[in-house]
Structure 1
Amino acid sequence: MRHRPRGRRLSARLRFALTGVLAASALLGAGTLPALSGTAAAAGEQEYRRGPDPTLASLQAQEGPFAYATVTVPDQATYDGGTIYYPTDTSQGTFGAIAISPGYTGYQNSIAWYGRLLASNGFVVFTIDVENTNYDQPNARGEQLLDALDYLTQTSSVRSRIDPNRLAVAGHSMGGGGALRASYLRPSLQASIPLTPYHTWKNWSWVTVPTMIFGAENDTVTEVEDHAEPFYNTLTSAQERFYIELNAPADHLTPTSYDPTIGQYPRAFAKRYIDTDTRYEQFLCPPPAPSSAVEESRRACLGS
């Protein structure tokens, strides 16, 4: 079934954020893109290495080297709570954090495997449930992802474990559209990972956040030519952009359960751009060649 987006009025906070972005854009002059990002991508900038040196085998494993625990979050003002996955190791300093949204009509159990995967690789991860019986549209999900990050860094019981300057978003389907929206609203994010994303907006040229987009060849809900591909093509201001299209039989729901290709590349991308860990560069550039798992890939590698 295809998504049937419904109208939604912007909240006052979201209208205020959007007004600020547009005002800043106007000050920069017509045709000039805002050079705003907290991404630690420049050569020589501090790395936050967590865990042993990576190997292809470690990237393809279902879980990483860190033991982790969970915290259940009750309903919040703009989203229906969720689960925080966090490394229990306190010897390596603070960790980067990622908020993840499920897709249209989906619950957080459809994205729980990202919580386990990424927490075991040295990130604090918040998988959320959205409001309105899971029918929230992408813009609302983007706002919820940012609220979830604020909860992580300001209120949660694990806030002392998190570096508030190393934050990211991800999501499936409408949650992936929400991740794009969150990147638009908060350019200080370190990374964004939309998975078979949906959004009615097709031009994301204002986004500066490093972004990795996944499409699927057999996706008949958010066809790549209407969603993932134009999203990637318009990310011309992103400090890094990366596109992987999963080969058939991969479809719209492939990201809702463990997939070795999805497990490998977002993990490396998160390490490289949230932690500035250059040990993972070798696993991102060059991008994967066509194979039984990958239909095609595109990228604008840093410095290329």
Structure 2
Amino acid sequence: MQQFPHSTSGLRRRISRRFAGLATATAAVVGLTTLTGPGAQAADNPYERGPAPTESSIEAARGPYAVSQISVSSLSVRGFGGGTIYYPTSTADGTFGAVAISPGYTAYQSSIAWLGPRLASQGFVVFTIDTNTTLDQPGSRGDQLLAALDHLTQSSAVRNRIDGSRLGVMGHSMGGGGSLEAAKDRPSLQAAVPLTPWNLDKTWPELRTPTLIFGADGDTIAPVSSHSEPFYNGLPSALDRAYIELNNATHFTPNTSNTTIAKYSISWLKRFIDNDTRYEQFLCPLPRPSLTIEESRGNCPHTS
């Protein structure tokens, strides 16, 4: 009985030590949580731009950034036919990734102009270009897309707003085929988005650029069976790639404002030009067939 108070004191000391250890462990967990919270993720990805996306924000006609634009005369550039640069007006977020977009056969930049402010308002510098002639073939259009990106990053009035390591290409019809050519010629490109593309070359095993191809179920000029589908199937199987076939659409659907094209183009460009994994949720799992989507294919989850 004389030892009971002593044992009680020892028990209290052991309990006290356990609580102290628990407090230390809790503090360590809190510290770890702090280090891996949103602030740390933002630091891990300095290219992330804009607020967290939602379904409605990427379907909206305009994103969070106010947009300005500059007309570029064909007389002031080399290698392509001039165009219009759309860019976020504010410089508060630093530099942005950039995208050059080519029109199709016989077409002018006006045919793809809707993409300029729509993409720029989501946090990109966008260059919708005219080609040297309206009859230029995909190989030439690919060269012109690269010339436009070089102008953007080296000579344009907004060059200081652009991160030259974060570039992509888009294009419609022969311009879409040109975007594949540009990605083949410049593997450092971060993203390519061909829109109902046309090209005589059907396989693209050389591509190293994450590529999203849009086809149209009613396309009679570049039918998906002989263009978009073989292009997609010809990409390396290990490449981050996707194919979305638009439902009740034609070859010219990309020439007018289209929410489905915008939604998935924005997500693809954000995911691969900005390395912004917040947009992965809109790409993976693959979009299901709907009133606007006939089918989709791709490799999920994405690896780069």
* Alpha-carbon distance in 1 for matches of 2:225, 2:299: 19
1:110 aligns with 2:136: no
Paired residue for 2:165? 165
1:257 aligns with 2:246: no
1:2-32 deviation line (CA, Å, top 9, x unaligned): xxxxxxxxxxxxxxxxxxxxxxxxxxxxxxx
Q: Are 1:206 and 1:237, in contact at CA under 8 Å, matched by a contact in 2?
A: no
Paired residue for 2:181? 181
TM-score under structure 1 normalisation? 0.83
1:101-129 deviation line (CA, Å, top 9, x unaligned): 00001110111111011110000000000
Paired residue for 2:58? 59
Secondary structure of 2:278's match?
A: helix
1:241-283 deviation line (CA, Å, top 9, x unaligned): 01000011x1000000111100100001110000000110101
Cα 1:101–1:217 shift into 2, 3 Å: same
Structure 1: unaligned runs, 5 residues or longer = 1-43
Cα 1:251–1:290 shift into 2, 3 Å: same
- What is the CA distance between 1:131 and its match in structure 2? 1.2
Instruction: In structure 1, give the amino acid aligned to 2:176.
Output: G
Q: Are 1:72 and 1:82, in contact at CA under 8 Å, matched by a contact in 2?
A: yes
For the pair shown, the structure with the greater C-alpha radius of gyration is 2
* Alpha-carbon distance in 2 for matches of 1:243, 1:69: 32
* Alpha-carbon distance in 1 for matches of 2:303, 2:131: 38
Paired residue for 1:46? 45
Percent identity over the alignment is 58
* Alpha-carbon distance in 1 for matches of 2:131, 2:165: 25
Paired residue for 2:215? 215
Instruction: In structure 1, give the amino acid aligned to 2:246.
Output: L
- What is the CA distance between 1:193 and its match in structure 2? 0.3
- What is the CA distance between 1:238 and its match in structure 2? 6.0
Paired residue for 1:296? 295
Secondary structure of 2:254's match?
A: helix
Secondary structure of 1:193's match?
A: strand
TM-score under structure 2 normalisation? 0.83
Higher RCO (C-alpha under 8 Å, 6+ residues apart): 1
Bigger helix fraction: 2
Q: How does 1:218-237 map to 2 (within 5 A)?
A: 218-236=218-236
Paired residue for 2:148? 148
* Alpha-carbon distance in 2 for matches of 1:237, 1:116: 33
Cα 1:303–1:273 shift into 2, 3 Å: closer
Instruction: In structure 1, give the amino acid aligned to 2:239.
Output: Q
Q: Are 1:210 and 1:238, in contact at CA under 8 Å, matched by a contact in 2?
A: no
Paired residue for 1:41? none
Structure 2: unaligned runs, 5 residues or longer = 1-42
* Alpha-carbon distance in 2 for matches of 1:269, 1:135: 29
Query: Displaced runs of 4+ in structure 1, greater than 3 A?
Result: 44-47
Q: Are 2:62 and 2:118, in contact at CA under 8 Å, matched by a contact in 1?
A: yes
Paired residue for 1:84? 85
- What is the CA distance between 1:47 and its match in structure 2? 4.8
The alignment of Structure 1 onto Structure 2 pairs a total of residues equal to 259
Q: Are 1:145 and 1:182, in contact at CA under 8 Å, matched by a contact in 2?
A: yes
Secondary structure of 1:148's match?
A: helix
